[in-house]
Amino acid sequence: MKPTPDARDIESMLKRWAEVDAEAGRMAAERRREVLGARASDELPEYEFGKKPNDWVHLDWMRPLRFMYRNLPFGLRMALKKRLVR
C-alpha cells in the first residue's frame, strides 16, 4: 500500500504545479505575441466573452418560466413551441 503524503510533500507538489502552470502561461503569451506580430502590445488585453442574442433566457427572472416549460408534457411543449415560432 502507498504511504500517504505528508503536508510538506503536498506543499512541494502544489509549488511545483504552480511553477508548471506559470511556465505554460508564459509560453501561451509568447505564442500569442508571435501570432499577433506587430499588432501585439506589451500588455495583451484579456479575451472578453461576448453576449449572445439569446442570453436573456438565462436571466434569473426566467427561471420559474423555464421550470414550468420543462415540466410540461412533451406534446404540449412541442405544440407551444410551434405556436411561438410562427
Same-domain pairing of 35 and 62: no
39 assigned to some structural domain: yes
19 assigned to some structural domain: yes
* Residue 43 to residue 49: CA distance in whole angstroms: 19
Return the pLDDT at 80. 92
Same-domain pairing of 42 and 58: no
22 assigned to some structural domain: yes
1 assigned to some structural domain: no
70 assigned to some structural domain: yes
Section 12-28 average pLDDT: 94
The range of the structural domain enclosing residue 19 comes to 14-46
Number of domains in the chain: 2
**What average pLDDT is seen over the chain?**
84
Return the pLDDT at 44. 60
The pTM score is 0.40
List the alpha helices (DSSP H) in 2-73. 7-36, 63-70
Return the pLDDT at 84. 85
